[in-house]
Structure 1
Amino acid sequence: MAITRPAGTAAALVTAVRARGGIPVLLPGLSLRAAEDTRAAATALDHALTADVIVFTSPAAVAHARQLHRLVTRAQVCALGAGTAKALARAGIKDVRFPDREDSEGLLAMDIMSQLGHARVALIGAAGGRGILRSVLRERSARFDEVHVYRRGPARLDARHRDAACAFEQHDHVLLSSAEALANLHRGLAGAPWQALLGATWIVSSERLAAMASQAGIAIVHVASSAQGPALLDMAAHVRD
C-alpha cells in the first residue's frame, strides 16, 4: 500500500497500515520546509491572529505556525478537516469549526464562510494549492490576508522509490490526499514506475481529486469520506472485500 503523504509525516499512517495487516510503501509526493523568511512569516502571523476569521489549511500549517508564534487569538478559527482541528486543539485552540466534507468546497459551503460580510479573514498555509479556496475568499471578503508559514515542494524520489513503484499491480492500493502530490509523483516517477502505478487501485480523499486522477490516466479510483488515515484505510478495506 503506497502512502503519498509528505516526507516525514507518514508515521501514524504507516503504523495504521501495519496494524491492518498491510505492507506500507512510502512514495512521498511532497516535502515540507520552513518559511524562507521566518522572521517575516512570524510578523505576518502575529497580524493574522488579530483577524475575525482564521483558516488553517492543514496540520502542517498548524505545526509550522506554532514554531513561529504562540497561537492565541479571539478569532473564529476554521480548519479544512478534522485532522487540522485536532492539531489546533493540541496547540490550545479548542473552538474550531470544520466541514463534514473535508475539502475546500466543503469549507466554503459552511455558514461562517458564506456570510463573511466585512470580516477580516486570514488564510494560514503554504504558497500554491487550494486555488479555489484562495480565489473565493478574495471574492467574499474585502479584507483578506494570506500567511505562508511553510513551503511545499517535490519530495526527493530515488531508485528505491522507482523500484517500489514498478512492483505495483491492480490489487495494490495507493492512498492520495493531495493534487500537488499527484502531479509531483507523475513527474518524479515518469516512465515504467508511473505506468505501474496507473494500473493500481487508488484511494483518494475527494471527488475533485478523483477527477484529477482520472485525467492523469488512472483507471481505478475510489473516493474515501475524508483525507484522514482511517477513512482512506476503511475505503481500501471496502474495495478489497
Structure 2
Amino acid sequence: MTAPPPSATASTLQGRIVVITRPAGTGSPLARRVRRLGGVPLLLPGLSLRGAPGGEVAAALREALADDVLAFTSPAAVRFAARLAPLRTKALVFAVGQGTAQALRRHGVSAQAPAQRQDSEGLLAHPALADLRGMRVALVGAPGGRGLLREVLAARGARLREVHVYRRGAPRWNRRQLEALMRLPADARVLLSSAEALEQLRRGLPADALARLRAAVAVASSERLAEAACAAGFARVTLAASAMGGDMLAAAAR
C-alpha cells in the first residue's frame, strides 16, 4: 500500500482512466476535474441515494437543530437535510470529514471536522466529544453503516437521537458502463471513499467485470478503506490524504 505524500496536489492524469464510484448522480463534478487533468472518467456508482419523505423526518430534523451538538455524517446528509429544513442552528456542529464540512459551509453552517483522519474515529478523537453526559446530540445521516458513532457517543453519555434524512440503496449499471469496465486497463485508478459502496460493487458486478476492476489500482480515502479494498481483492492500493476530490485525484495521478 502506497502512503499519501505530504502535499496532495494533482498534476496530470495523462490519459489514465479513473473510475468514479461516488453515488449515482453525484460524480459529474469529479468527472469534469478528471477531464481537466487529462484523464478519462468512468462513472460507476457504488450506491444510489434516495431522500427521506418530508413530514415526520422534517419535523425531527427541526427538533434536532435545537440540540446541543449536531454531527453530519456525509455531504449527502447535508444535501438531503437542507431540502427538508433551513440548517439554522446554535448547536456545536461536527462533520465527518472536510468534504462534509465544505458542504455545510455552502449552507452557512460552520462545522468542525478532523484534519487528519477523516472518518468516525477521527471525529471521535475531538476533545469536545470526549464527555457528553446529559448533552442532546443528533446524528444526521442514513440508516445502516458501521454504527461506531452511535455506539461511542451514547457510551459517552449523550442523549442521542438519529435523523435519517436519506437512504442508501444498490446502484444500477447500464450495458455501456459494464462494457467499459471490461476494457479497463491495469493502470486505471478506482476511487474508493465508501466501504458500503465497495461492498455493493463486490456483490453486484458480474464476476468478469469485478475481476477487471480488481486488477486496477484502488485509491482509498482512508486507511480503513485501504484495508477494505485489500479484503475485497485489490492487489494494488494507494492511500489518498482524504476523501476530498483534489486529494483523491492527486493519489490517482501518482
The one of 43, 46, 65 aligned to 2:81: 65
- Relative to the length of structure 1, the TM-score reads 0.94
Q: How many residues align?
A: 236
**Structure 1 match to 2:112:** 97
In structure 2, which of residues 202, 213, 217 is the aligned counterpart of residue 201 of structure 1?
217
- Which one has a larger percent helix, Structure 1 or Structure 2? 1
1:98-152 superposed Cα distances (whole Å, 9 cap, x missing partner): 0012111100111112232321110000111142222212212341000000111
**Residue 43 of structure 2 aligns with which residue?**
26
CA distance in 1, matches of 2:49, 2:157: 29
| Counterpart among 216, 233, 239 of residue 232 in structure 2 | 216
The range that moved more, 64-73 or 124-133, is: 124-133
Q: Is the 8 A contact 2:153 2:160 kept in 1?
A: yes
Distance 2:61 2:139 in 1: 10
Deviations 1:137-179 (A, max 9, x none): 2212341000000111111113222212111232110001001
Match of 1:168 among 175, 184, 187: 184
- What does residue 126 of structure 2 align with? 110
Which of 5, 10, 16 aligns to 2:27? It is 10
In the other structure, the counterpart of 1:156 is: 172
Structure-2 separation of matches of 1:60 and 1:223: 23
Q: State the percentage of identical aligned residues.
A: 52
Q: Is 1:55 aligned with 2:62?
A: no
Specify the alignment match of 1:83 in structure 2: 99
Give the corresponding residue for 1:236: 252
1:6 CA displacement: 0.5
Q: Is the 8 A contact 1:120 1:141 kept in 2?
A: no
TM-score, normalised relative to structure 2: 0.90
- Name structure 2 gaps, 5 residues minimum: 1-17
Task: Give the CA RMSD over aligned residues.
Answer: 1.1
Q: Secondary structure of 2:40's match?
A: coil
* Aligned 8 A contact 1:121 1:141 in 2: no
1:84 aligned partner, one-letter code:
T
Tell me which amino acid in the other structure corresponds to 2:130: S
Q: Does 1:192 align with 2:208?
A: yes
Alpha-carbon contact 2:132-2:158 (below 8 Å) kept:
no
Distance, in Å, in 2 between the alignment partners of 1:118 and 1:161 is: 50
CA contact (8 A) 1:104 1:130 kept: no
SS at match of 1:24: strand
For residue 74 of structure 1, what is the aligned residue in structure 2? 90
Instruction: Give, as a single letter, the amino acid of the residue that structure 2 aligns with 1:79.
Output: A
1:45 alignment partner, SS class: helix
What is the distance in 2 between the residues matched to 1:142 and 1:10?
Answer: 35
Q: Distance in 2 between matches of 1:19 and 1:65?
A: 31
**Other structure's SS at 1:97 match:** coil
Match of 2:243 in 1: 227
1:42 deviates by 0.5
- Kindly indicate whether the alpha-carbon contact (under 8 Å) linking 2:132 and 2:153 is maintained by their aligned counterparts in 1: no
Mapped to 1, the partners of 2:176 and 2:142 lie a distance apart of 28
